[in-house]
């Protein structure tokens, strides 16, 4: 919302985080499934991994978090929180087996997002804090203390991530990847990305990342993009002016924004990245559009007409998505 091969000695426990059964099977699938593309092995090979996460005292972390929501989180049941560091994230968690799986997913999602944006790396000396709640009642307490919307399952706030990860659910959704996308956009382009683009890109890339992650675990999954019947769309002018998802049309806002971002990327990926750069300089879509998309769309009327046509078509993904 506006506001997812593993180091050395992956099975060495000691002070390292314990490997959950699900993660062990994930490793077995990666090692023994020859049908997986080599790119998947190469990417997962570079993850910081579970063996690299060691529980440390909060005072020993390489970077402290000055985010007010972070202080609120750690003040709730402070005796339960543990802390560890990975390659790109500093983890705050309660139960090790939950953090283990989340750490793998976080590093995987981080790489998918940065690759999609064609940014090989962010500043290596800066890590983002990820707070993992694994009890729904604790998350609800945090929502109230932080005055968050009750429907949120994860948020990005000023460079820090807060996530509910209920271990009773067998499969994770795209929430972690969605919030990591917000984080990366914030770090690369600042706070001026409009809500429709922020949410649309986060949905687009996190759905792609989740499908890739589940395929790497041996499941059949493709990214999802909703099509719209005529009359179901929020008109683009009001959609682009919205600072927050509308309460009565939350699902429509997220799905339409994802579809719009997918349309812009499929029309011309390089121009989409240029559009993001323009927002980093606090430009508006109205000002940037005729400059960035000159030669692609004759005018806004043609752009909106082609998007309506695209939005109504049935999306068909491939396993390369």
> What mean pLDDT comes out for the span 51-78?
89
Shared domain check, 293 and 238: yes
Number of domains in the chain: 2
Q: Are residues 201 and 241 in the same domain?
A: no
What does the pLDDT read at residue 123?
Answer: 65
Domain shared by 166 and 237, yes or no: no
Task: Examine residue 12 and state whether it is found in any structural domain, yes or no.
Answer: no
pLDDT in tens, 13-37: 223 333 344 444 344 334 333 333 4
Shared-domain flag, residues 133 and 267:
no
Model pLDDT, residue 8: 28
Look at residues 210, 245, 271 and tell me which one is the last residue of a structural domain. Answer: 210
Identify the domain boundary among 162, 190, 210: 210
- Claim to verify: residue 162 and residue 271 sit in the same structural domain: no
Mean pLDDT on 225-239: 92
Q: What is the mean pLDDT of residues 204-210?
A: 91
Average pLDDT of the residues in 195-215: 90
pLDDT tens sequence across 145-168: 988 887 788 899 988 999 999 888
pLDDT at 124: 64
Reported as a single tens digit per residue, the pLDDT across 178-191 is: 999 999 999 999 99
Pair 186, 140 in one domain: yes
Specify the pLDDT at position 171.
Answer: 65
What range does the domain containing 300 cover?
214-312
Question: Is the same domain home to 58 and 172?
Answer: yes
| Nearest to 181, CA basis, from 145, 141, 209, 142 | 209
Give the residue from 160, 181, 210 where a domain finishes.
Answer: 210
Kindly report which listed range (6-10, 122-126, 281-285, 291-295) carries the lowest average pLDDT score. 6-10
pTM attached to this predicted model: 0.78
Are 64 and 33 part of one and the same domain? yes
């Amino acid at each position: 919302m506006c506001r997812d091969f593993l180091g050395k000695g992956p099975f060495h426990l000691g002070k390292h985080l314990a490997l959950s059964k699900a993660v062990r099977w994930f490793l077995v699938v990666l090692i023994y499934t020859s049908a997986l593309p080599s790119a998947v092995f190469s990417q997962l090979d570079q993850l910081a991994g579970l063996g690299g996460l060691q529980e440390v005292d909060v005072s020993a972390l390489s970077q402290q978090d000055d985010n007010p929501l972070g202080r609120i989180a750690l003040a709730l049941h402070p005796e339960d929180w543990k802390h560890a560091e990975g390659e790109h994230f500093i983890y705050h968690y309660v139960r090790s087996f939950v953090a283990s799986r989340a750490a793998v997913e976080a590093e995987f999602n981080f790489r998918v997002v940065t690759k999609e944006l064609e940014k090989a790396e962010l500043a290596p000396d800066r890590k983002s804090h990820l707070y993992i709640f694994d009890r729904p009642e604790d998350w609800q307490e945090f929502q109230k203390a932080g005055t968050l919307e009750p429907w949120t399952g994860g948020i990005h706030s000023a460079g820090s991530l807060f996530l509910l990860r209920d271990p009773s659910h067998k499969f994770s959704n795209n929430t972690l990847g969605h919030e990591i996308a917000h984080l990366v956009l914030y770090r690369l382009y600042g706070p001026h990305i409009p809500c429709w683009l922020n949410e649309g890109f986060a949905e687009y890339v996190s759905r792609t990342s989740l499908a890739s992650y589940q395929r790497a675990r041996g499941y059949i999954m493709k990214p999802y993009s909703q099509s719209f019947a005529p009359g179901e769309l929020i008109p683009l002018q009001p959609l682009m002016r919205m600072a927050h998802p509308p309460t009565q049309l939350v699902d429509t806002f997220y799905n339409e924004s994802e579809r719009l971002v997918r349309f812009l990327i499929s029309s011309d990926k390089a121009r989409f990245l240029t559009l993001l750069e323009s927002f980093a300089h606090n430009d508006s879509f109205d000002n940037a559009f005729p400059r960035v998309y000159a030669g692609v769309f004759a005018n806004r009327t043609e752009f909106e007409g082609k998007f309506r046509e695209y939005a109504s078509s049935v999306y068909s993904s491939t396993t390369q998505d």
